[in-house]
């Protein structure tokens, strides 16, 4: 049985963005990525995908999944937002 090689892509995502991180993972020979969903997760920031509506968020991640598939990568795990950020404006103030 051939074993697959997986990497955590969080730091690549932070430095290069989501798509480029997937490209790098494929280029270095990874078969799978542990993909972070918590990069720029504050809905109050205009550059955050979470500042968009639900349809836009779903579309964004579906496109990334297709991109990963085309690169031959498996998204083996995802990690969402950390505790403390609830996406409830009243409770997130000061986060």
Cα distance between residue 21 and residue 52, in whole Å: 22
Q: How confident is the model at residue 30 (pLDDT cuts 50, 70, 90)?
A: very high
**Any residues with CB less than 8 A from the CB of 20 and at least 6 apart, and which?**
12
Q: How confident is the model at residue 41 (pLDDT cuts 50, 70, 90)?
A: confident
Answer yes or no: is pLDDT of 36 > 70.
Answer: yes
Answer yes or no: is pLDDT of 92 > 90.
Answer: no
Cα distance between residue 69 and residue 57, in whole Å: 19
Q: How confident is the model at residue 85 (pLDDT cuts 50, 70, 90)?
A: low
Answer yes or no: is pLDDT of 82 > 60.
Answer: no
Q: What is the pLDDT of residues 11-28, one digit of tens each?
A: 999 999 999 999 999 999
What is the residue extent of each domain of the chain?
A: 6-79
Mean pLDDT, the chain, rounded, equals 87
Give me the residues paired with residue 6 across strands: 32
């Amino acid at each position: 049985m051939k074993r697959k090689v997986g990497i955590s892509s969080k730091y690549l995502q932070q430095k290069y963005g989501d798509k480029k991180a997937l490209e790098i993972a494929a280029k270095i020979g990874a078969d799978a990525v542990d993909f972070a969903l918590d990069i720029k997760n504050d809905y109050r920031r205009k550059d955050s995908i979470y500042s968009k509506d639900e349809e836009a968020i779903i579309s964004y991640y579906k496109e990334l999944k297709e991109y990963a598939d085309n690169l031959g990568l498996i998204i083996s795990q995802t990690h969402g937002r950390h505790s403390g950020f609830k996406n409830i404006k009243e409770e997130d103030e000061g986060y």
